[in-house]
Amino acid sequence: MTMAFKEMPDRSSKPLPPTVTPPARPLSLVQTLRAARRNVLEIIPALAYRQPMLSGRLGARWHMVQDPVALRRIFLDEVDNYPKSEVMLRMLRPAVGDSLFTSNGESWRWQRRAVAPVFAQRNVTALAPVMTATAERAHRRLSGSGGKAEMVAEMLSATFDVICEVALSGREHFDADAYADAILRYFETAGKASVLDFLQMPDWMPRPGALLGRGAVRTMHAMVSRAIEARRGQAGGDVDDLLDHMLKAEDPETGRRMTPTDLIHNMQFFIVAGHETTALALSWSLLLLAWHPEAQARAREEARAALGGHAAAGAEHLDATPYVKQVIEEAMRLYPPVGLLARNALKPDILAGREVLPKDTIFIPTYALHRHEMWWDRPNEFNPDNFSPEATEGRDRFLYLPFGAGPRVCVGANFAMMQAHIILTTLLARLRFAPGPGRAPVPTMSMTVRPDNGVWLTIERI
């Protein structure tokens, strides 16, 4: 498998964003296993970028779906027929158990009701001052970085502050560096598919990755558990954050409340997902703008005009910076947070004119969907105007899925977008970014789509 990367360009060039070179045809079982362990994006064949649906067999039958009508059926019309695949759940459960992300049916529904109020638009808007303060701190760190910094680490630090405030009203119980290291160790161990998964071995057979990831899980769970116990020990007073809503949540039909394990698993999921997605969107956005100085200049002019004399952006500046938002949306088109999803079919169905049988595996290659030759004009180029009002008018909702779709769409999508918009507007108004030394990063996925060697940029204060 070859990678599509090159030396970092000078400012005058307009390179194609870095990507992977897809295999010319679907891989064999052994090839798929090797590719999935190395980079999940490498298992997506070239035909997936050109055809609405592919089918094949790796022990069990599989289908890759890139057709928007079929995707609407999977995510919305027949959502109960396509639960998350057991392989994917097996990789997630050691860390997040049967939380909102991994549960189904009534268990999912009552957990969703418990957390949804935290991410209602009015509450997200009320969190804007926290995001503004975080953006200002990120600016100060980058301004004092000596003219060069690695963006993934910087953005993870910024977004971790915000999610801890939303989830726990602070991060005093967390060692941010140790927690970030544990996340990476988990992704690289339990977060990778095992040969036993491809051979469809039963769940009771231990997966090596899950065993190797136990230390990372213990580290993350210990910090979350300390924060929960500290809250339980507080005397009086209500704190309006995610943990408070979870502690009070009760299923109106059964009276069920979250157990201590439920709380740990749900908080773990929201802390990881709540800052990882936004940090990666920001990192890819800054890399793309560094490669495309004209787009960066346009976004900066808009940001500076909107902010006026303000040091950092707030919710009141978002309507005046639509192009900055388009940059983020385009970055998530080219580098969706999760590049491949998997579902299992429960009952027979027809997708894109093809027969689907019970137990078939349904892959949704978001990475290929977002770069698909049938649906996007010049799909491998960076063009924020793909998300202008004129371009999005009439576009099928199921061609762009950075946060999923249907009833299980990411509950924190608005939160993530507002946070990214505020931070990027603040940084662009006060800093200029250019490519750093070395080769461009290759998008690599185990659980999320990350740049393999980080995003090193040079930084100039304006």
Q: pLDDT by residue for the chain (462 residues), tens digit each?
A: 444 434 444 444 567 999 999 999 999 888 988 898 899 999 999 999 999 999 999 878 999 999 999 999 999 999 999 999 988 888 899 999 999 999 988 888 888 888 888 888 888 898 899 999 999 999 999 999 999 999 999 999 999 988 988 888 888 888 888 999 999 999 888 888 776 776 667 776 778 888 889 999 999 999 999 989 988 877 555 677 888 888 888 887 788 888 999 999 999 999 998 899 999 999 999 999 999 999 999 999 999 999 998 889 999 999 999 999 999 999 999 999 999 999 999 999 999 999 999 999 999 999 999 999 999 999 999 999 999 999 999 999 999 999 999 999 999 999 999 999 999 999 999 999 999 988 899 999 989 999 999 999 999 998
3-state secondary structure of 55: strand
Location of structure tokens 């309507």: 319
Considering the domain delimited by 3-461, tell me its CATH architecture: Orthogonal Bundle (1.10)
Which two structure tokens, joined as six digits, stand for 365? 């290659």
CB atoms within 10 A of CB 421: 27
CA distance 373 to 362: 21
Work out the angle at residue 335's Cα, subtended by the Cα atoms of residues 331 and 337, and round it to the nearest 5 degrees.
105
Residue 157's Cα: distance from chain center in Å? Answer: 16
- What is the distance between the alpha carbons of residues 241 and 244, in angstroms, rounded to a whole number? 5
CA 127 – CA 430 distance, rounded (Å): 23
- pLDDT for the residue 236: 55
**Residue showing tokens 């390179």:** 15
Helix (H) or strand (E) holding 57: strand 53-58
Residue 235: the pLDDT is: 54
CA 326, chain centre distance (Å): 17
pLDDT at 24: 93
Distance between first and last Cα of the chain: 42
Q: What is the pLDDT of residue 11?
A: 43
- Cβ atoms of residues 242 and 267 within 8 Å: yes
Residues with Cβ within 8 Å of residue 148, at least 6 apart in sequence? 436, 456, 457, 458, 459
Structure tokens at 174: 């967390």
Residue 5: its pLDDT value, please?
Answer: 39
What backbone torsions phi and psi does residue 61 show, to the nearest 5 degrees?
A: -70, 145
Q: Closest by alpha carbon to 286, among 462, 454, 433, 441?
A: 433
Q: How far is CA 241 from the centre of its chain?
A: 22
- What is the pLDDT at residue 171? 81
What is the spatial distance between Cα 183 and Cα 129, in angstroms, rounded to a whole number? 27
The one-character DSSP state at 157 is H
CA–CA separation, 30 and 7 (whole Å): 32
Measured CA to CA, the distance from residue 390 to residue 189 in angstroms comes to: 44
- The C-alpha atoms of residue 337 and residue 444 are separated, in whole angstroms, by 11
Length of the chain: 462
Nearest to 166 by CA among 111, 210, 121, 127: 127
Residue with tokens 């509950």: 411
| Amino acid of residue 77 | D
Q: What is the pLDDT of residue 377?
A: 95
CB 21 within 8 A of CB 2: yes
